[in-house]
């Protein structure tokens, strides 16, 4: 069985690496290389490959846009190639979609090839297509949440990416956005209103006056009266109230 393979990545060195690794595999034939999402769409439609190594982060049209253009139900078996952080990669894990996290080595690459062979031998493409469909649906939902916030500065307005926020606390008629470098920024908004704008897979209310980025939690310690102490990456100590404990527990278990 020869697996006709298309390599899509805007970095020539990344394409070369996959090409080199595949050259040592008897069952794989590279039918093309693409350096952009536009080229990938054209090549998939013309070549009808069995397998696509698809870079997620490309300028203009990214990997997800390629899938949307082709249609998830029409996509060949897809292995995402990504430099995303571990938080974003959990989306792939959750939907059982295969991926290679840059930088990957030959051992991890061959592990992925083994899974691909098994899937193609079972002709399990309908299951894989469903996984791609649900992945795209979830990613679209995530797009509804704020990725950056405009905060006033002495010189005007600056934009703060939500991933930079470690925790948020109430400050009168404002909320205080606390970041890794120890800076804080005031935003004229209620904590409840901001909570609705933040991705609930990343941010969770831990107290009536505090929201935390779960990725920045280092430790949770039990305290008296059902309360817990949250230790953040930078050492800050925050209270986890009993009423919010189950919500935090469930989110961390899914992480």
Helix (H) or strand (E) holding 253: helix 245-254
Whether residue 117 is predicted with pLDDT greater than 60 in this model: the reply is yes
The predicted pLDDT at position 57 comes to: 82
Tell me whether strands 184-187 and 203-207 are parallel, antiparallel or unpaired. Answer: unpaired
- Name the band, by pLDDT with cuts 50, 70 and 90, for residue 142: low
Does residue 200 carry a pLDDT above 90?
Answer: no
148-254, superfamily in CATH?
LytTr DNA-binding domain (2.40.50.1020)
Q: Where are the domains of the chain?
A: 3-142, 148-254
The predicted model gives 107-132 an average pLDDT of 78
Give the fold, CATH level 3, of 3-142: Rossmann fold (3.40.50)
Q: Regarding beta strands 51-55 and 77-82, do their DSSP bridges make them parallel or antiparallel, or are they unpaired?
A: parallel
pLDDT digits (tens, 9 = 90+) for 166-175: 999 999 888 9
**Taking all residues of the chain, what is their mean pLDDT, rounded to a whole number?**
84
Answer yes or no: are the C-beta atoms of 150 and 141 closer than 8 Å: no
């Amino acid at each position: 069985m020869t697996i006709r393979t298309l390599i899509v990545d805007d970095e020539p060195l990344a394409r070369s690496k996959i090409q080199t690794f595949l050259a040592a595999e008897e069952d794989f034939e590279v039918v093309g290389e693409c350096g952009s999402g536009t080229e990938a769409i054209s090549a998939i439609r013309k070549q009808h490959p069995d397998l696509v190594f698809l870079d997620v982060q490309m300028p203009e049209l990214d990997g997800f846009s390629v899938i949307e253009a082709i249609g998830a139900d029409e996509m060949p078996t897809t292995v995402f190639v990504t430099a995303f952080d571990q938080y974003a990669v959990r989306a792939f894990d959750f939907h059982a979609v295969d991926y290679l996290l840059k930088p990957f080595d030959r051992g991890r690459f061959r592990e992925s090839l083994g899974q691909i062979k098994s899937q193609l031998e079972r002709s399990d493409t309908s299951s894989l297509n469903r996984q791609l469909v649900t992945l795209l649906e979830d990613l679209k939902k995530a797009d509804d949440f704020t990725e950056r916030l405009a905060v006033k500065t002495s010189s005007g307005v600056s934009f703060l990416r939500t991933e930079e926020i470690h925790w948020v606390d109430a400050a009168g008629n404002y909320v205080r956005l606390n970041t890794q470098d120890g800076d804080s920024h005031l935003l004229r908004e209620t904590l409840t209103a901001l909570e609705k704008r933040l991705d609930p897979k990343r941010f969770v209310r831990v107290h009536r006056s505090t929201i935390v980025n779960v990725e920045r939690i280092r430790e949770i310690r039990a305290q008296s009266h059902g309360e817990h102490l949250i230790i953040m990456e930078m050492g800050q100590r925050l209270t986890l109230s009993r009423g919010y404990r189950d919500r935090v527990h469930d989110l961390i278990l899914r992480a």
